[in-house]
Amino acid sequence: ALTIGIVGLPNVGKSTLFNALTNNQVLAANYPFATIEPNVGVVSLPDPRLEVLAGIFHSERILPASVSFVDIAGIVRGASEGEGLGNQFLANIREADAIAEVVRGFEDSDVVHVDGAINPASDLETINTELILADLQTLERAIPRFEKEIKGKKLGPEVLEAATAAQKILDGGTTLSAAKFDSTPIRELGLLTAKPFIYVFNVDEAVLTDPAKKAELAALVAPAEAVFLDAKIESELSDLDPADAAELLASTGQDESGLNQLARIGFATLGLQTYLTAGPKESRAWTIGKGWTAPQAAGVIHTDFQKGFIKAEIIGFDDLVATGSIAEARAKGKARMEGKDYVMQDGDVVEFRFNN
């Protein structure tokens, strides 16, 4: 499943946000270094289409796609040198598919800022520097090993070429993703700055309702995506029933919770989409990459579906809703039989035909 690691300076609201994600009580203490152990929280990707399908098919349950969030310790200046909880933090996010960096934008004199003042631009700079230094360390350790393995013909020269190219970019102070560096040959290193980043500005209500201020913050991280939320409100939302939650959201000028935005933007950042299956047992969303073919998509349900793939019967979600049933969609020519070269489209409602 898709995993997103959460990083940020201490006291920026990572634990508070994570509480909201899992609706569990993770320790959210008001002092630096409060979050030590990594935890995983799974959140559903909101998809109103599933409710509609469940209505049409009288499904017993709904299974949305999900995004896993990994809570990790805060990073501090000097983290790459092993100060604070740095090294532990770094080991935990290497595995993540993407990184959500929480940046503090809220003012609260009761909550200490590690550097003494709220300054999103300087906080972004601090984290960037630490991540770059961490990647440089990883490369310094890996390069002698690569050289040895290339001599022993266990590795191709392209691995070393990629490693030294990455080193050069990082030495110049640029992250690998900003340099659009293709890290495929050295993927096993899990270089942090090669991962896609989403920036989460934890702000108060005044900022949430101030488009100019939000644009100013978003510009600090563009072209990466920025999500604006109030971690405290998010954790309150997770305790409320849907009607009350909608009311609280509306009172802060939003129509979608920050967590929903984060799941949605995480999906988009990683080039993911969903297709749908529906029946009396369940209406379900399945996660695939953009551009995947029908057999690849079938493989997400079961490898046998991919191996024995014959064809896929596909009805677009809107066509299914308009016709009201599979039978009616077929009668109206809205159900298509697609073969193994078909490229899946977001919102395809699918039934696979396969050989065992």
Residues that bind ligand GDP in the complex, under the rule CB under 6 A: 8, 10-16, 28-30, 34-35, 74, 106, 108, 111, 202, 204, 230-232
Provide the token pair at 346. 């977001």
Question: Would you say 20 or 288 has its CB closer to ligand GDP?
Answer: 20
Whether the Cβ atoms of residue 355 and residue 286 lie closer than 8 Å to each other: no
Radius of gyration of the chain (CA): 23
Whether the Cβ atoms of residue 292 and residue 285 lie closer than 8 Å to each other: no
- Torsion-angle region of 190 (φ positive above 0: left; ψ -120 to 50: alpha; else: beta): left
Nearest approach in angstroms of CB 203 to ligand GDP is 7
Q: What are phi and psi of 79, to 5 degrees?
A: -60, -40
Question: Would you say 108 or 351 has its CB closer to ligand GDP?
Answer: 108
Nearest approach in angstroms of CB 12 to ligand GDP is 4
Nearest approach in angstroms of CB 206 to ligand GDP is 11
Question: Would you say 93 or 139 has its CB closer to ligand GDP?
Answer: 93
Question: Would you say 111 or 248 has its CB closer to ligand GDP?
Answer: 111
Count CB-CB contacts under 10 A for residue 302.
12
Question: Would you say 201 or 275 has its CB closer to ligand GDP?
Answer: 201
Going by their DSSP bridges, the two strands 66-71 and 39-44 should be labelled as: antiparallel
15 annotated binding-site participant: yes
Count CB-CB contacts under 10 A for residue 38.
17
Nearest approach in angstroms of CB 176 to ligand GDP is 25
Nearest approach in angstroms of CB 101 to ligand GDP is 11
Distance (Å, whole) CA 286 – CA 288 = 7
Question: Would you say 113 or 284 has its CB closer to ligand GDP?
Answer: 113
Q: Minimal CA–CA distance to 158: which of 133, 138, 181, 186?
A: 186
Question: Would you say 68 or 252 has its CB closer to ligand GDP?
Answer: 252
Whether the Cβ atoms of residue 75 and residue 104 lie closer than 8 Å to each other: no
12 annotated binding-site participant: yes
Going by their DSSP bridges, the two strands 309-316 and 348-354 should be labelled as: antiparallel
Burial of 250 (0-12, 13-18, 19+ CB in 10 A): exposed
Nearest approach in angstroms of CB 246 to ligand GDP is 20
Question: Would you say 230 or 348 has its CB closer to ligand GDP?
Answer: 230
66 annotated binding-site participant: no
Non-local (6+) Cβ contacts of 224 within 8 A are 177, 196, 197, 198, 199
Nearest approach in angstroms of CB 215 to ligand GDP is 20
Q: Measured at the alpha carbon of residue 49, what is the angle toward residues 197 and 1, in degrees to the nearest 5?
A: 40
Distance (Å, whole) CA 297 – CA 34 = 41
Nearest approach in angstroms of CB 18 to ligand GDP is 7
Q: Minimal CA–CA distance to 325: which of 53, 48, 47, 51?
A: 53
Residue ranges of the binding site for ATP? 11-16
Annotated binding site: 11-16
